[in-house]
Chain A
Amino acid sequence: MTLADAFIHLMTPQSFAIVAAGVALGVSVGVLPGITAGMLMALTLPFTYHMSSIEAVSLLISMFVGGVSGGLITATLMRIPGEPNSIMTCLDGYQLARRGQPGRALGLGNSSSLVGGTVSWGALVLLAPPLAGIAVAFGPFENFAVILLALILISSLSEGSFLKGLSAGLLGMLVSYPGIDESSGIMRLTFGIAELEGGFNSLPVILGMFAVSQVVADALNIETNENPIQATLRGIFISVSDYLKHGWNMLRSSLIGVWIGILPGVGATVASIVAYTTAKNFSRSPEAFGGGSEEAIVAAESANNATTGGTLVPILTLGISGGLTDSILLGALVIHNLQPGPLLFKNNPEIVNTIFATHLVAHLVMFAFMTFGIGLFARLMGVPRAYILPMIIVFSVLGAFGLNNRAFDIWVMLSFGLLGVLLEFARVPLAPFVVGLVLAPVAESELRAGLMASGGSFMPLIERPVSAIMLALSACLFAWPFVRAWREAPASLVASKE
């Protein structure tokens, strides 16, 4: 089966229905806080036993694409990341919606998602093998340098409150350390609590930090407006001039998403953070970021959808996965007696081409679904908060519990909810905390693996060209906010004198 055959096959009623159902379910769980696409895919896996491998792969890829995209709706309308990768969309999508332009915010996000997905499809189909080859050629020092680059962005994200942002990032890193130390097998920082031996799962932590704190904040400072924000669909259809205006941002953010998607263990959340920060640093109006910036929405949504194609590259060409959702996809291939990796291209080209074709068709279906169905979701703004807020808690509890069927995760979620409330009151940004939480374990394991290989020498970090470039880039990005502040200072002095 060639790629063209795969596209034709997907146009048959049954195959198209599977893709549409997968996207619809994915978007639906993406909208629901705490119910992730990964969880949906895991729950769906047993049902795929009754399907052919091609149908199963189509369904799971469609859910994957729908899940990544659906988070946009909740992030924009409720400031809660339906999926963790929508964190950055919360910042500006919600603000733009609050200013009376929910349709515009959703339209920009949806269009950017389509562009990101399409660019990543191109990368997947045309560049997958060579890109994967480059990424896999990275040693641990290069991987550590890449992660350090992402961690340094914490300071950029917290511009205006450097101390608070950095401390929140470090706090997130500490939260990631309890459990078994993978390098030595030694149990650490468990304080004698048996449930901590597996460490904190990031999903309950993130749910608590964002969902619970949002519910408490809304209850504290609830809207009393008799006429709540009307969810207008005006602006949901993005014009050609909008594509031209945001085209470079879309492309740049998509490429960031593709690249970060390829790197194992980093993922869509970091991609959206990096793209957001990059867009902010290059923006002519960085002060608008956080207050409903269109550039910010475009960057975040292009990047997180672009990771879908990038993520598939190492799975298909090397048989390695970087995160929960990828691992479920990998497991699904194995369950269906398929061998992920280079042999898949040789032995099962029909599966590879089905994955390629489904990835693009699912994005097109997602775009149509979220454009024409988004009006229904937009009406969520009109539903009384007295119904929505408790439901968010219920879904968060279900999401935290459903991950491992552990009551402990419910308490983790609520405890980190309290921490999130404190951070909000103290005006400490939440995003650096999440970056620290997600990246710290990977950074540690990579550096330690590198040091084992180098006999304890740190020199390869600066001797190896890729890691040296990454470190230099980290230094530049770290210094950039200070340089900009220094450059702007004389202008503000002149203005104040006048």
Chain B
Amino acid sequence: MERNSLARNAEIAYVVLILATAGVIWGEASALPPALYDALGPKAFPLGVSGAMALLGGIMLLRIFTGRSLGQSGQMMMPGLDEPTSGHAWRPWIAVTVLVLAFCYAIALTSRSIGFLAATAAYLFSAGIVLGRPGQRRLVATAVFAVAAAVVLDTLFKRFFSLDLP
């Protein structure tokens, strides 16, 4: 997917998210009881903010469909999202894999069946392999790093910080 069309699709997804969130919050807030102790009550702010958000979402949607720009933050800090930059490789599937691995890691931890040590070592190894360059030496180095880091973290947080790790 071209980067410009990706950004445009992301803008549309963002506007849809804004409108959907505003709608859901408006619906939920409307069902709240009226104010008992003060002039505003528990639903005034959620209703007001979701209403304003819906208005902004509508304006943004209108601008998108009429082909007008929504503007672009002057503070986007991520290089290369708009156009290719030298010294960077565009690797969408690796990014998706990294995200999937993070969720797998969270599942492994929250299920509490594997344990922090094994789950962390496995995650660091798999993510390191996905992100790193291929090669047998790299494979061994990543494995050593993954096991060592997991052991150090496990010891540090269990023994020194007495944290009940997942």
Partners in one complex: yes
Question: Does B155 belong to the interface (CB within 8 Å)?
Answer: no
Classify chain B: how many residues form its interface, as a range. 35 or more
Contact of B49 among A170, A219, A389, A391 (CB under 8 A): A170
CA distance A417 to B60 in the complex (A): 23
Which residues of A207-264 are within 8 A (CB) of B?
212, 214-217, 219-225
* Contact digits for A97-130, partner B, Cβ 8 Å, 1 yes 0 no: 0100000000000000000000000000000000
Of the stretches A8-16, A53-61, A404-412, the one at the interface is: A404-412
How close is B52's CB to chain A, nearest CB, in angstroms? 6
* Residues of chain A contacted by B72 (CB below 8 angstroms): 160-161, 164, 427
- Which one of B35, B37, B73 has the greatest number of beta carbons of chain A within 10 Å? B73
Which residues of B57-109 are within 8 A (CB) of A?
57, 59-60, 63, 70-82, 85, 87-92, 94-95, 97-99, 101-103, 105-106, 109
Question: Does A68 belong to the interface (CB within 8 Å)?
Answer: no
- Evaluate contact between A167 and B56: CB separation under 8 angstroms: yes
Given A174-B21, A189-B28, verify A427-B79 contact (CB < 8 Å). no
How close is A328's CB to chain B, nearest CB, in angstroms? 15
- The main secondary structure of chain B at its interface with chain A is helix
Of the stretches A352-360, A372-380, A392-400, the one at the interface is: A392-400
CA distance A428 to B78 in the complex (A): 12
Given A216-B95, A220-B92, A221-B89, verify A167-B127 contact (CB < 8 Å). no
* Residues of chain B contacted by A184 (CB below 8 angstroms): 35-38, 41-42
Question: Does A447 belong to the interface (CB within 8 Å)?
Answer: yes
Q: Which residue of A has the minimal Cβ distance to B106? A: A410
CA distance A331 to B42 in the complex (A): 30
- Evaluate contact between B77 and A390: CB separation under 8 angstroms: no
CA distance A407 to B103 in the complex (A): 12
* Residues of chain A contacted by B102 (CB below 8 angstroms): 212, 215, 393, 414, 417
Question: Does A429 belong to the interface (CB within 8 Å)?
Answer: yes
- Evaluate contact between B70 and A289: CB separation under 8 angstroms: no
Contact of A389 among B33, B82, B98 (CB under 8 A): B98
Question: Does A424 belong to the interface (CB within 8 Å)?
Answer: yes
Q: Which residue of B has the minimal Cβ distance to A181? A: B42
Of the stretches A88-96, A301-309, A314-322, A361-369, the one at the interface is: A88-96
Given A407-B109, A407-B110, A410-B109, verify A159-B46 contact (CB < 8 Å). no
How close is A374's CB to chain B, nearest CB, in angstroms? 21
Given A160-B72, A184-B36, A425-B6, verify A221-B49 contact (CB < 8 Å). no
Question: Does A350 belong to the interface (CB within 8 Å)?
Answer: no
CA distance A456 to B37 in the complex (A): 10
Given A171-B18, A183-B37, A410-B110, verify A162-B71 contact (CB < 8 Å). yes
* Residues of chain B contacted by A428 (CB below 8 angstroms): 14, 73
CA distance A417 to B102 in the complex (A): 10
CA distance A427 to B76 in the complex (A): 6
How close is B89's CB to chain A, nearest CB, in angstroms? 5
Which residues of A281-315 are within 8 A (CB) of B?
287, 289-290
Question: Does B17 belong to the interface (CB within 8 Å)?
Answer: yes
Question: Does A173 belong to the interface (CB within 8 Å)?
Answer: yes
CA distance A336 to B162 in the complex (A): 22
- Evaluate contact between B38 and A414: CB separation under 8 angstroms: no
Given A222-B91, A290-B74, verify A386-B128 contact (CB < 8 Å). yes
Question: Does A486 belong to the interface (CB within 8 Å)?
Answer: no
Given A90-B77, A394-B124, verify A224-B106 contact (CB < 8 Å). no
- Evaluate contact between A159 and B74: CB separation under 8 angstroms: yes
CA distance A118 to B14 in the complex (A): 43
Contact of A397 among B37, B76, B109 (CB under 8 A): B109
* Residues of chain A contacted by B81 (CB below 8 angstroms): 217, 221, 424-425, 427
How close is B40's CB to chain A, nearest CB, in angstroms? 5
CA distance A177 to B79 in the complex (A): 33
* Residues of chain B contacted by A421 (CB below 8 angstroms): 99
Contact of B131 among A159, A390, A417, A423 (CB under 8 A): A390
Contact of A219 among B29, B106, B131, B145 (CB under 8 A): B131
- Evaluate contact between A452 and B110: CB separation under 8 angstroms: no
- Evaluate contact between B109 and A391: CB separation under 8 angstroms: no
- Evaluate contact between B39 and A161: CB separation under 8 angstroms: no
* Residues of chain B contacted by A422 (CB below 8 angstroms): 10, 13-14, 17
Given A43-B161, A188-B42, A220-B92, verify A158-B73 contact (CB < 8 Å). yes
Q: Which residue of A has the minimal Cβ distance to B149? A: A391
CA distance A417 to B101 in the complex (A): 13
- Evaluate contact between A43 and B37: CB separation under 8 angstroms: no
* Residues of chain B contacted by A189 (CB below 8 angstroms): 25, 28-29, 46
* Contact digits for B98-141, partner A, Cβ 8 Å, 1 yes 0 no: 11011101100110000000001001100111111100000000
Question: Does A491 belong to the interface (CB within 8 Å)?
Answer: no
Which residues of A427-450 are within 8 A (CB) of B?
427-429, 431, 440, 444, 447-449
Q: Which residue of A has the minimal Cβ distance to B80? A: A221
Contact of A452 among B39, B57, B145 (CB under 8 A): B39
The 9 closest A-B CB pairs, nearest first, are A386-B132, A425-B10, A161-B71, A456-B39, A220-B95, A390-B127, A429-B73, A181-B42, A386-B131
- 26 A-B pairs with CB atoms under 8 Å apart are A163-B56, A167-B53, A174-B50, A184-B38, A219-B95, A220-B91, A220-B92, A221-B80, A289-B74, A290-B77, A385-B131, A390-B131, A393-B105, A402-B157, A402-B163, A407-B110, A407-B166, A410-B166, A411-B110, A422-B10, A423-B14, A426-B13, A429-B75, A449-B38, A456-B38, A456-B39
